[in-house]
Amino acid sequence: MSEDLVKVRDLNVTFVTRDRTVHAVNGVDFDLAGGEVLCILGESGSGKSVTLRALMRLNPPARTVMAGTVVVGGHDIVGIDENRMADIRGSVVSMVFQEPMTALDPVFTIGQQICETVKRHEGVSQKDAHRRALDLLDLVQIPSAERRLAAYPHELSGGLRQRAMIAIALSCRPKLLLADEPTTALDATVQIQILLLLRRLQQEMGMGVIFVTHDLGVAGEIADRIAVMYGGKFVEEGPVREVMRTALHPYTQGLLGATVHSGMRGRRLTTIRGAPPNLENLPTGCAFAPRCDVATDACLVAVPALRGDPDHRARCILVAAGKEETPCCSI
Amino acid sequence: MLLYLIRRIIYAVPIALAVSLFCFLLVHIAPGDPINAILPPDAPADVVAQVRALYGLDKPLPLQFGIWLGHIVTGDFGRSLATGRDIWPDLASALKNTLILASASAFIGFILGTLLGSLAAAFNGTWIDRTCVGIAVAGVSVPHYWLGMVLVVIFSVTLNMLPAMGAGPDGTSNWMLDWAHLQFLILPAVTLSVIPMGIVTRTVRGIVSEILNQDFITTLRGKGLRRSGIIVHVLKNAAPNALAVMGLQLGYLMGGSILVETVFAWPGTGFLLNNAIFQRDIPVLQATILVLAMFFVALNLAVDLLQTAIDPRMRRS
């Protein structure tokens, strides 16, 4: 891919209110090619959702300070004016949210909510928008589409609501789809259906997808690459298989150890002790050091750059800077 | 929807009955015997009994209520004790005037309140928010009869721009929609609009800022909707609750304008009530309170139906 769909350099997002300043994202760099699926993995408060929203400038405008470079589909997201930004949202890049009950307007029908998006970006007639809405419901496999278009969100099940949400997001064929934990609020059986649907749609439409989750299983199912986020930074990044098989960063290893997955038979699940860092007052050193079993004094001094193989890197001084892949330790 | 409508109307019947029962009992709650108001204190016992029978006051209470209700339903509100005239013509004209005053105040108060409240919510936490809330608090706190007098001093006495009293140039209450009549409406309507303005401002501010914090607003921004598109969604979400408060306020305006109508000598129901209270004219009091209460019941019903029409989640049977 000659031109990257997404290019993020040294992204910093800070929430400033009168009482406090929260450093949610602290220097994130990544690229995404068209048609590629990146999973951002991390705990609550690691900055993964904020990073995702920064790509559409959807963080609360009044108190968000954004710095760095974000380019999506050739558009400079940080510098662009609000009207142009609104043109890009929904057409070039769109988002599927975590909780389909609250993310849909309760007093408008599903059809109205799809049609207004299509009409906003493509200026088509109500009739054409309605026809597109029908096609979209077919695309996301909602049965008896005509009837569902006239339904209000509270009249649909959680799974159908999330499908409708996906239909809205895809209504103007975006090049980039952002998914903010789209399966977290759903039943386990529905989760896998939505996941398979997203993967199929991604392949059919050739979209780039950035998928935020705290669920390693979900990441393994859908991602090409994984980025692990901690304290507002990417601490590890690499192809999904490599990260799963040979995690470099102690935090990633901890996450893997705390999750049930194949190859875990007969082994005890481990936990990561402690709690995530306070984003108001981040340490100068590695943010994970206080919870890390293998931390040394050097960890508290400064955060290393991402190091290791260019394709699979981690932000840990125990990772060899060279090309060879050596896990820094084994749990 | 039709079924719901019918059911809601049926629900309103017992409320209306209870209200009329209360109005009927007013006579019996009030100290003293109505007969004393008609006859001199030294009237002989057989005359008292005769008059009592004439007015039907010797019959058992439930029967009296039934007879009274029958008269009311056919539009017979009885006669005023003070003037001896039929109540209904006077009451109808007073109702019309109060309705004019209340609608004008509601119009001013609701529009200003909605604007100020939306502004405050959109600029939550800024000086704009604090200014709007300040105006709202002032509006609710200022005694409106005092404000009325201040306005009269400024605009009628000092500037001589607007009339201070009455509802029309010739002293009659025949309302017409022209400047000669409209200028009489301005001061009382503005005075009366201050409280609903304040209450609606604070309500709308609360409702709208809550809606603006909902997840679906982020979704709407994420779809690329412009500010105007998002406002449509906010309005439709805010409308049911805002309308409920406005309906109540309109009800209060209908019944609660006694002081303002007295200050401006506006010939409405408040004025009528005020006179009836001082003259212990209980039939007039009864009739006026009953009609105003019925307005309140009808307004609540209308608001309920409107809310249901707007918010699909309320349509469950």
Tens of pLDDT, residues A156-191: 988 899 999 999 999 988 999 999 988 888 888 888
B257 and B207, same domain (yes or no): yes
Domain membership of residue B215 (yes or no) is yes
Domain assignment of residue B36, given as a range:
2-73
pLDDT computed for residue A326 by the predictor: 45
pLDDT computed for residue A133 by the predictor: 92
The answer to whether A87 faces chain B, any CB pair under 8 Å, is yes
The Cα–Cα gap between B264 and B104 comes to 15
pLDDT computed for residue B217 by the predictor: 92
Lowest mean pLDDT among A72-81, B4-13, B35-44, B91-100: B35-44
B65 and B114, same domain (yes or no): no
Tens of pLDDT, residues A52-92: 999 999 988 888 999 999 999 888 998 899 899 999 998 99
- Count structural domains, chain B: 2
Domain membership of residue B266 (yes or no) is yes
Q: Tell me, what CATH number does B120's domain have? A: 1.10.3720.10
DSSP H/E element including B22: helix B2-29
B58 and B120, same domain (yes or no): no
ipTM summary value: 0.86
What number of C-beta contacts closer than 8 Å exist between A and B? 75
The Cα–Cα gap between B269 and B284 comes to 10
The Cα–Cα gap between A171 and A139 comes to 10
B132 and B251, same domain (yes or no): yes
Flag whether pLDDT at A322 surpasses 70: no
The Cα–Cα gap between B147 and B154 comes to 10
The answer to whether A177 faces chain B, any CB pair under 8 Å, is no
Q: What's the whole-number mean pLDDT along residues A103-119?
A: 92
pLDDT computed for residue B287 by the predictor: 87
Considering only CB atoms, A102 lies closest to which of B215, B226, B233, namely B215
B125 and B11, same domain (yes or no): no
Q: Which residues of B touch A116 (CB under 8 A)?
A: 223, 225, 229
B104 and B246, same domain (yes or no): yes
Question: Is A89 in contact with B220 (Cβ distance < 8 A)?
Answer: no
Domain membership of residue B261 (yes or no) is yes
Q: Which of A53, A98, A58 is nearest to A194 (CA)?
A: A98
Considering only CB atoms, B222 lies closest to which of A83, A87, A89, namely A89
Flag whether pLDDT at A327 surpasses 70: no
Flag whether pLDDT at A2 surpasses 60: no
Alpha-carbon gap: A208 to the closest alpha carbon of chain B (Å): 17
Domain membership of residue B81 (yes or no) is no
Domain membership of residue B295 (yes or no) is no
Domain membership of residue B163 (yes or no) is yes
B203 and B64, same domain (yes or no): no
Flag whether pLDDT at B81 surpasses 80: no
The Cα–Cα gap between A32 and A205 comes to 16
B157 and B21, same domain (yes or no): no
Taking residue B134's Cβ as centre, other Cβ atoms within 10 Å add up to 12
Tens of pLDDT, residues B61-78: 888 888 888 888 888 888
pLDDT computed for residue B316 by the predictor: 60
Tens of pLDDT, residues A65-76: 999 999 998 889
Domain membership of residue B312 (yes or no) is no
Q: What residue spans of B123-226 are helical by DSSP H?
A: 127-141, 144-151, 179-212, 215-222
Q: Which of B73, B108, B125 is the last residue of a domain?
A: B73
Flag whether pLDDT at B117 surpasses 90: yes
Task: Report percent pLDDT > 90 for chain B.
Answer: 24
* Length of chain A in terms of residues written: 331
Residue B196 amino acid letter: P
Q: What's the whole-number mean pLDDT along residues A201-219?
A: 89
Flag whether pLDDT at A321 surpasses 70: no
B103 and B62, same domain (yes or no): no
Domain membership of residue B210 (yes or no) is yes
Confidence class for position B129, pLDDT limits 50, 70, 90: very high
B18 and B121, same domain (yes or no): no
Strand order in the sheet with A21-32: A21-32, A6-16, A64-72, A75-76
Flag whether pLDDT at A205 surpasses 60: yes
B69 and B110, same domain (yes or no): no
B146 and B67, same domain (yes or no): no
Flag whether pLDDT at B177 surpasses 60: yes
